[in-house]
Structure 1
Amino acid sequence: MSKLKILMVCLTLLLVAAVLPALGSDWPQFQKDQVHSGITGDSAPITAPNLTISWVNDTVIPADRMAGIDASPIVYNGSVYAVTSEGKLFKYSLDGTAAGGNWPVSFVTNPNDWDFQLATPAACNGYIYVLDSGSPYRTVPHDDLYAINADTGVIVDRVNITDYNYTQFNTPITCSCDGKHILFGSMNITTNYTTWVTSYLDGDYYCYNITDVSNIIPSWSPHHSSNGYYWAGAAVIGDYAVFGNESGGLVSINYTGSVVDEVDASDVYGFDVGSIRSSVTYSNETVISDDETGRIYFTSYNSSVNGSCYALGFNATTGHFITADNCSRFIGYSTSTPAYYNGRIYVGSSNGLYCLNATTLLPIWPTPTSVGVVQSSPAISTFYGLGNEYIYVTTNSLLGGIYCVNSSGDVVWNGTSTYYDNDEYASLSLAGAAISGGRVFYGNDEGVLHGRANYTLYDFSVGASVDKWAYKYQVNPNPPNTNVEPNIEFTTGEYANIAADDGIYASHETTTENYSAAHRFVFKIDDNEKPWITAINVAWNGKAWHDTGDPGATLYIWNGTGYEELDDDANSQDEFWLIGEKTSNISNYIDSSNNVTILVVQNDKDDGEDERSHIWTDYVKLVATP
């Protein structure tokens, strides 16, 4: 298979994933994949997140709040992973539940060494690869690279890369599409603690073979740079790793370790590019000559206020830069990795969020969206259709937080970061976001990990209203043939009794022979949300029993022509849950008035004498997942 075909297989898999309405696909490394696309087909919140379902988790001790989470989180196999300044890897479920057992995993040899952890980890083949970024504060050399079992939290291998005390590993880890290699760079940094002046010296780029996770070995000798690498992650394009450095240089290296091409960006663009502190991203959709050619995109800065976004031709078959195909656009100080989608480049800077034409880099939005200082890289959901992408950026500015921007450049919603120590600067959010299954995840300097969601929760927490109703009390047959039985509406007091899962019930028993006790619930789905719903989850809590017959109850959902069973349980007089889900043919379950109808029926009939059918509802809810 040719190098180009190998590349196209990887990109095709990414595109297939992007068009499917997945319920929680992976975001396993920085900007999702080996070319740092930042694109997912998963949904994400496009209205202000539902705080009932969103969550925050505090991960660090108070002493380490200044740089708690400064690397992007990743999502792998239904879990969120984040590294903290204490040198720990945390694991949470998508709903924010902390993993137990070995989690969190400590990957710092000396716990007294306080480190900035800037390297976003990568997940591959069942393992999380983590770098101890290091800092000038560490007192002894220690292991730098760790392979951690993603399920158990067991460290299966640890590698000492260098014994030099002043080395920091501050680039994200890139895992190749074939799952055989990881790449990352280093920077040697010293600080004069009298003047607090930091000097950035040299550094190296590394490639390690992870085919045998218990024996991680170098793939080639480190590629040395006299200026080092800071935040500059490698894009893996076919057989080539492409990355920039502190002096504005770009290099393309073959997996054999040989340098294929190297350019000085300042020479290419005719001005002082300064430092490349973004990762490289790649798109093969912007073609200048043939199918073997695409473009790389990156940013730089050459002072505290100046910087640009760049496009440069790249031949994915030969690994060579095409310097004749180049353009740039001043955007201000930038460490943001550009994201390409549908002929556009989205990129952040000290001036805000830009949208540029991918061919010319001319602005599509006349002015950047003002969201504060964006050092992070845009994460983009394409779930809502072509031309309706939503862009998520975190801000490294006062109060930090996250912004959702639509493809027209309008801020749809924004949320500030949570902080606990009354220092608003601790809420800065430097690293950027990850998207999976309707949620967006990000951290802040205080070490708070956020999971924001716009799943809509329908329940009776504020009583009945125009979007929900409840009815009582008996039906025959079970289930009934129509979706309007039973048809006696709950009283105000009965609504109040099912407002929360608190052991207070709306209770009824039968009075007619051959009838079964029942409760019916109707929830009206928001019209704007209806087209995007990919799952309906229902949960009922209560008691259901018969004086002498079958205990328990059955949960149904109306499918347009009849009731479909979701769950049943033969519990007796103890409180229990009935839970069900629909993830296909969603339109069948939402009628023309946008109503979803739920029914719970006790499992046996009234015998016409003294043996009644009973149903007591404590709490019922419906969750619509966009």
Structure 2
Amino acid sequence: MKKIIRSVLLLVLSLTVLLIPALAADWPQFLGDPGAQGVSDGHSAVSGADLMLRWEKNTGNTWDDVPGTPIVMGDFVYYYSSQYLRKLDLATGEEVKTARIYGEPVNQFFIDIAFGDGMIFVPCQVNNLDDGTGVNGCFFRVFDADTLEQLYVTESIATGQMQSPVMYHNGYFVTGTYGRNGVYACFTAKDEDTARGDEVKKAEWIVESDSKYGFSFNGAAFVGKHCYFGCGSTLYVVDYKTGDTRTFDIGEGYAIKSTITYSAETERLYVASNHPTDGASIFSYALTAAGMPDPTTALEWVSHTKGGGTQSTPVVHNGRLYIGGGGYTMGSAEPFHVIDAETMKEIYSVPILTKGSAGISTAYATDENGQMIYLYLVPYAPKDETVSQMWILTDRQGQTKPEYEIVDGIGRRQYCSQSVIVAKDGSLIWYNDAGRIYCYENAANMEPGIFRDTKNHWAKDQIALLAGEDILNGTGDGYFSPETKVTRSQFVQMLSKFSGEDCSAYTTDEFADVGSGDWYAPAVAWAVEHGITTGSGNGLFSPNAPITRQDMAVMLQRYVEKVAKEELPQENAILEFTDASSIAVYAKDAVAAMQTAGIINGISDGGSYRFAPEAQATRAQAASMIAGLYHVLYGQD
């Protein structure tokens, strides 16, 4: 008997994309969370050296066995292959549950499943199970995501193949069919009869294609009450609850062959298509109050690639748009492009031929590294008869030329039309036509909070503590750079984050060398407001000057007195540093207080200790001192 109350997995999909959500922790449908499409904050591998195969599943050896596009929810991976919906443990690859989809092999391409409201939606080309439903083809089987028990099926909506991604939104799910007389259909997700699993749900609405080819790769975007999807040169705008349909023509000869994207960041709709004569095209539109594309706001990017075109879906992040081509079956010469999402001007291109859309990790993005992100792409065709590849791209604010690493020997040699999932644990998941689904993990993630260059460092534990509390970050590429000097601005930033206070509203005009737009300006203003710093003299703060060890001690003491409002304990006897005479008068009390509290111990020098007050502090030393204060104030190491 079917469960009446179904377990809901960790993520409930956002009800609207009108507000910018937190980055996706799961990947519930094609390109992940609709509100942060293609973007994850998983700590994925930043180089080929860190890519390590976690598991690989062989799903069969024929075209009928090629797996469908996987999704990731919570600790599980879901995908279709070899007549079954399969649920795998993300950490181990162990198959924990299966559900039968077909009674015998079916050659169905691009089985894009989706998750929503605790359910898995599986598009089915034919019905060759003796299930008593009377449904023939082009329908859905819907399963409980926890148990994989079938909840219901839908009516047949057409003939042909269900090649468009299944998209879930706010209690509804949609997809389109490919082939003559193709349609786009919408269903409510709610299980109307919880006592049976063979009920047949009717479509809420069906839209017929204006193109003889129907819908292929044409996923939908949801904005407010409207659902947007395309076919040929027609963009359909449908009230997803009522089915009220309007159309918008992007131009004669254009062909939309990918998913529509809406960016809450730019508040614009992006429609990728093939240009009538000149490669790939993307139109960008603002929307009217009625939800229609406003033609007066239209901006177009054209690739001008001879023989080009795209089946890829635009991914928009931090003001930049990323799009691939069509692989070797369409747009064979189309590279991967990086475009300004506001102006629709090309920034640069990358010479990879891929059908996939960008899978992006923002885990290592900081103000210091220009919000650098990592993008993962797999070429449509293997390099040669023996070598498969993954491309790891980096991009950041202001970058105008491609930066990438080509990693050979990733997966098995075969064609691949897929995008790479960046899971919440940093693993990368995709399939290719070798009949295999892959999960590669980040070898640098073996120990939480430990960076690639701190695994054996004396300050490893202190750095891990502060990184885990988001008091400090790495320097990019999985590195912490413990021996790099700390600047004055970086140290006050660490202290402001240590306080836990939101400093974003703080401003100051105290210093001529601190501008309101500088990334460290709020932290400096916070430090001035709380009496932690008065600058370096002559109306300057010297934000980029390395901070000395004695100045760190002074700032820490002022933090204790003026922010924490605590008294430091006297844990240790007073230690006479051999270079005590070199400590500035203004810093002597602070150094003594930090030493007797056990926050600093000095530098061993034979049988004695020195403090090195004028020495420029390293990132490791700064972390050690702040972690020591953390222990004193909060009783943690």
User: Same fold, TM exceeding 0.5?
Assistant: yes
Q: Percent identity?
A: 19
Offset of 1:446 from its aligned partner? 1.4
SS for the counterpart of 1:83 is strand
Q: Provide the residue aligned with 2:418 in structure 1.
A: 431
Pair 1:336–1:36, CA change in 2 (3 A) = farther
Measure the CA separation in 2 of the matches of 1:42 and 1:458.
14
Structure 1 CA distance, aligned partners of 2:36 and 2:177?
19
Whether contact under 8 Å (1:417, 1:429) holds in the other structure is no
Give 1:456's aligned residue.
Answer: 444
Q: CA deviation digits over 1:128-180, x for unaligned, max 9? A: 11112459xxxx93472011222222222222324x5x41110111110x2x1
Secondary structure of 2:185's partner?
Answer: strand
Name 1:543's counterpart in structure 2. Answer: none
1:319 alignment partner, one of 291, 298, 302: 291
Counterparts of residues 46-125 of structure 1 (less than 5 Å): 46-48=46-48, 50=50, 52=52, 54-64=53-63, 68-69=66-67, 71-84=68-81, 86-100=82-96, 102-103=97-98, 105-108=99-102, 110-116=103-109, 118-125=110-117
* Correspondence for 2:235: 250
Is this contact kept in 2: 1:42–1:383, CA < 8 A? yes
Q: How far apart are the structure 2 equivalents of 1:75 and 1:223?
A: 30
CA shift for structure 1 position 528: 5.6
Distance 1:57 1:256, change over 3 A: same
Q: 1:325 to 1:68 in 2, by over 3 A?
A: same
Which structure has more strand as a fraction of its residues? 1
- The AA in structure 1 aligned to 2:150 is I
Deviations 1:276-332 (A, max 9, x none): 11100001333xxxxxxx3211222268983222212223x4221111221222233
Give the 3 Å change call, closer, same or farther, for CA 26–443 of structure 1 in structure 2: same
2:22 corresponds to which of 9, 13, 16:
16
SS at match of 1:187: coil
The C-alpha deviation readout for 1:477-519, integer Å capped at 9, x for no partner, is xxxxxx9xxxxxxxxxxxxxxxxxxxxxxxxxxxxxxxxxxxx
Distance 1:528 1:297, change over 3 A: closer
Q: Which amino acid aligns with 2:444?
A: T
In structure 2, relative to structure 1, the CA distance for the partners of 1:107 and 1:9 (3 Å cut) is closer
TM-score, normalised via structure 1 length: 0.61
| 1:457–1:390 distance in 2 versus 1, CA, 3 Å | closer
Q: Name the counterpart of 1:494.
A: none
Matches within 5 A, 1:217-366: 217-218=201-202, 220-227=204-211, 228-245=214-231, 247-267=232-252, 272-273=253-254, 275-286=255-266, 294-301=267-274, 306-315=279-288, 317-331=289-303, 332-349=308-325, 350-365=333-348
One-letter amino acid matched to 1:150: A
Structure 1 match to 2:350: 369
* Matched position secondary structure for 2:48: coil
Native 8 Å contact 1:401 1:415 kept in 2: yes
Does 1:175 pair with 2:168? yes
CA contact (8 A) 2:41 2:362 kept: yes
The equivalences for 1:110-189 within 5 A come to 110-116=103-109, 118-133=110-125, 141-142=136-137, 144-162=139-157, 166-176=159-169, 178=170, 180-188=171-179
Q: Which amino acid aligns with 1:221?
A: W
Once residues 589 and 94 of structure 1 are traced to their aligned partners in structure 2, the CA distance between those partners, rounded to angstroms, is 37
Residue identity matched to 1:300 = S
Letter in structure 2 aligned against 1:264: D
Residues 450, 106 of structure 1: CA spacing in aligned structure 2 closer, same or farther, 3 A cutoff?
same
The answer as to 2:426 corresponding to 1:447 is: no
Going from structure 1 to structure 2, the CA distance change for 1:260 and 1:131 (only over 3 Å counts) comes to closer
AA paired with 1:226? D
User: How far is the alpha carbon of 1:205 from its aligned partner?
Assistant: 0.7
For the 8 Å contact 1:35–1:237, the answer to whether it is kept is no
Aligned residues of 1:43 and 1:381 also touching (Cα < 8 A):
yes
Question: Which ranges in structure 1 are unaligned for 5 or more consecutive residues?
Answer: 1-6, 19-24, 189-200, 287-293, 460-464, 471-482, 484-524, 534-559, 563-586, 595-626
For structure 2, the 5+ residue unaligned runs are 1-12, 128-134, 326-332, 448-452, 462-473, 483-596, 600-619, 628-637
The alpha-carbon deviation at position 235 of structure 1 amounts to: 0.5
> Which one-letter code corresponds to 1:27 in the other structure?
W
Structure 2 CA distance for aligned equivalents of residues 112 and 527 of structure 1: 47
1:417 and 1:187, CA in 2 relative to 1: closer, same or farther beyond 3 A?
same
In 1, the alpha carbon distance for the partners of 2:218 and 2:357 equals 12
Does structure 2 retain, via aligned residues, the 8 Å contact 1:380–1:390? yes
- 2:182 corresponds to: 203
Kindly state the Cα deviation for residue 28 of structure 1 after the two structures are TM-superposed.
0.5
Cα distance, 1:60 vs. partner? 2.0
Q: Which residue identity is paired with 1:185? A: G
* 8 Å contact kept, 1:378–1:391: yes
Paired residues of 1:234 and 1:279 also in contact (CA < 8 A): yes
- Do the aligned partners of 2:257 and 2:272 also contact (CA within 8 Å) in 1? yes
Q: Deviations over 1:220-243 (max 9, x none)?
A: 231111321100001111110000
Higher RCO (CA 8 Å, separation ≥ 6 residues): 1
- Figure out how many residues of one structure are paired with residues of the other and give that number: 424
Separation of aligned partners in 1, 2:69 and 2:324: 15
**1:414 match: secondary structure:** strand
Q: Secondary structure of the residue that 1:456 maps to in structure 2?
A: helix
Q: Is the 8 A contact 1:96 1:451 kept in 2?
A: no
Inter-CA distance 412–380: structure 2 relative to 1 (3 Å threshold): same
**Structure 1: how far apart are the matches of 2:445 and 2:293?**
51
Distance 2:148 2:324 in 1: 34
1:574-589 mapped onto 2 (5 Å cutoff): none
Measured in 2, the distance between the counterparts of 1:211 and 1:458 equals: 41
The Cα shift of 1:351 comes to 2.4
Matched-pair contact (CA < 8 Å) for 2:278–2:302? no
Structure-to-structure mapping, 1:553-592, within 5 angstroms? none
Q: Do the aligned partners of residues 56 and 458 (structure 1) sit closer, same or farther apart at CA in structure 2, a change above 3 Å counting?
A: closer
Structure 1 CA distance, aligned partners of 2:58 and 2:249? 41
Aligned to 1:212: 191
Go from structure 1 to structure 2 and tell me whether the alpha carbon gap of 1:204 and 1:142 turns closer, same or farther (over 3 Å shift). closer
CA deviations over 1:453-473 (Å, ceiling 9, x no partner)? 2232779xxxxx996699xxx
- Give the residue type in structure 1 aligned to 2:291: G
Could you say if the C-alpha distance between residues 443 and 242 of structure 1 is closer, same or farther in structure 2, counting changes exceeding 3 Å?
same
TM-score normalised by structure 2 residue count? 0.60
The structure-2 alpha-carbon separation of the partners of 1:119 and 1:528, relative to structure 1 and needing over 3 Å to count, comes to closer
Q: Give the superposition deviation at 1:35.
A: 5.5
